Amino acid sequence: MPMSHAHIHDVVIAGAGPVGLFLACELRLANVSVLVLEQAGDPRSPLKALPFGMRGLSAPTIEAFYRRGLLDEIVAAQRANDAAGTTKASSHWMQQERLPAGHFAGIPFFHENIDTAKWAHRLPSPAGVNLAVDMQSLETILASRATAMGAEIRRGVDLEDFEETDSGVIVHAGGKIIPTRWLVGCDGGRSTVRKKGGFRFVGTDPEFTGYSVKATLADPDALHPGRTYTPAGMYTYAKPGMIAMVDFDGGAFHRTRPVTRAHAQAVLQRVSGTDVALTTLHLAATWTDRACQATAYRQGRVLLAGDAAHVHSPLGGQGLNLGLGDALNLGWKLAATIHGRAPAGLLDSYFAERHPEGARILDWSRAQVALLRPTPSTRALAAIVRDLMATRDGATYFAEKVRGVSLRYDLGGSHPRIGQSVPDFALIDGPRVGDLLQDGRGLLLDFASDAPLRPLANRWQGRINYISCDVEDRLGLSAVLVRPDGFIAWASETAAHDEGARQAASRWFGAPG
């Protein structure tokens, strides 16, 4: 079925969550026309607001927002929550005297044990390694940015089906036919795009039903504050009535029927081993530790990102960061493909780079589940892990993984910096690298005084910005080529090598000219 050329969007994105909205921003940065379709008519939800909506952002996510000029708004939202006292009331971590730097399966590690000197590839930056924000604020910020950049967001429109043609995709949504050149499913763990597209989704079945509950307790002191492991499972409690618990029922209750006060009380009594009584149930949600991943992120002109491509337990809060990383990685590659300047294999590198990261996070989630099982052997293993995390090396290892500072793509090349996030070099009497990436183009940094790489950069003018300037700390480098997503494509420690830079530019930015 051929498509009419009237009103054809370059990309239709299914899902106006943070991943879909951030992808829309990335595509608009490259002047790609974008339509975002969202099933829900109202973006607001009690599950997105505090207390349930709090999410921790990893270092790669914070860097991405910083490099796109979004970080100040997100920090302001966090400060507003802190000033209102809602951050502390939302989490049992914030109610402890010794504030952890993170956790693994509920086992904390602490700031004073982390050896940040081992992160030699990082420089001081406005983008730190730890930040929290509520989902409602984040979506509001991203939706406002996407709309201001020219993306169209249609809410209350359900994507029903689609069919691929030789030149694009015909989307059926809200009773209308919407032609597009590309379709991206960012529509969550029960993705219609994934199901209708026939993507294989494989992994492991759930072991438990998790509950997030806001309730009024007859006796607020009936439960032990913080995280408590029991012979039946685990619960965490923050006064006066925030409760999370896991019931090892094989995920039997998740999304099968509404959570009533009587059911929540029965589960809590069984898991806690107490006769605690809930007088009022204000809000409740369930989740599981099901861990599945699509075996392909692209079929023809249809792609997946975020929870549509991978789902896992929310333990450790890795899901949002993983999805936002997908959007950052995909946006510039899809835009280059649409504009006809993508080198061979560029769009396929989205799967090659992001699928291994997704698989790693799924295993990270499974490992946490293994430490939560209510068995004597699990408790013994958890005690050993707790001892390891209390050491300096152990805390540093877990901090690297939880915060994402060890993320590195396998991009080939012999230099150890290739594939890492670019350090936030501070130019002498000038801006920082994070400020130079806001337009979504590549960046060639030449620290030599005679600007030897300027002729090469001129060949990719419009795709690569060239900066010849010394910086406060070179970290031993003389020149660096950075992709639009902020990851290093080529680096040199000695005199700039024109041929190496040329090959890397051709690989990631296409033919010169």
**Concatenated DSSP letters for 340-393?**
T-PPTTTTHHHHHHHHHHHHHHHHHHHHHHHTTSSSHHHHHHHHHHHHHHTSHH
Q: Grade residue 250 by pLDDT with cuts at 50, 70 and 90.
A: very high
- Distance CA(256)–CA(124), nearest Å, equals 48
How far from each other are the two terminal CA atoms of the chain, in whole angstroms? 35
Helix axis angle, 59-67 relative to 71-84, nearest 10°?
Answer: 120
Per residue in 322-372, pLDDT tens? 999 999 999 999 999 999 999 999 999 999 999 999 999 999 999 999 999
Q: Grade residue 414 by pLDDT with cuts at 50, 70 and 90.
A: confident
Contact at 8 Å (CB) between 179 and 3?
yes
Burial class from Cβ neighbours inside 10 Å (0-12, 13-18, 19+) for residue 100 reads middle
Domain boundaries of the chain, sorted by first residue: 9-105+129-203+292-371, 209-289, 433-509
Q: Supply 156's token pair.
A: 């209350």
Per residue in 298-311, pLDDT tens? 999 999 999 999 99
CA 377, distance to chain mean position in Å, is: 33
Q: What pLDDT sits at residue 344? A: 95
CA angle 396-358-25, nearest 5°? 100
Q: Is the dihedral of CA 295, 21, 282, 104 positive or negative?
A: positive
Q: Looking at this protein, which amino acid is placed at residue 339?
A: H
Beta bridge partners of 9: 180
To the question of domain 433-509 being in CATH 3.30.365.10, the answer is: no
Whether the full predicted model's pTM is greater than 0.85, yes or no, is yes
Q: Supply 36's token pair.
A: 């975002």
* Assigned CATH topology for domain 9-105+129-203+292-371: FAD/NAD(P)-binding domain (3.50.50)
User: What value does the mean pLDDT take over residues 434-444?
Assistant: 97
Helix and strand totals (H; E) in the chain: 14, 24
Q: Is a pLDDT exceeding 70 seen at residue 5?
A: no
User: What value does the mean pLDDT take over residues 99-108?
Assistant: 89
Per residue in 379-411, pLDDT tens? 999 999 999 999 999 999 999 999 999 999 999
CA 497, distance to chain mean position in Å, is: 35
Contact at 8 Å (CB) between 331 and 13?
no
Q: Grade residue 91 by pLDDT with cuts at 50, 70 and 90.
A: low
Contact at 8 Å (CB) between 371 and 378?
yes
Per residue in 120-169, pLDDT tens? 889 999 987 778 899 999 999 999 999 999 999 999 999 999 999 989 99
Tell me if domain 9-105+129-203+292-371 and domain 209-289 are identical in fold.
no
Q: What pLDDT sits at residue 1? A: 46
Architecture of domain 209-289: 2-Layer Sandwich (3.30)
User: What value does the mean pLDDT take over residues 227-244?
Assistant: 92
Burial class from Cβ neighbours inside 10 Å (0-12, 13-18, 19+) for residue 341 reads middle
Q: What pLDDT sits at residue 130? A: 78
Which residue carries 């000197």 as its tokens?
117
Per residue in 443-482, pLDDT tens? 999 998 788 899 999 999 999 999 999 999 999 999 999 9
User: What value does the mean pLDDT take over residues 85-113?
Assistant: 75
The Cβ of residue 353 has, within 10 Å, a number of other Cβ atoms equal to 20
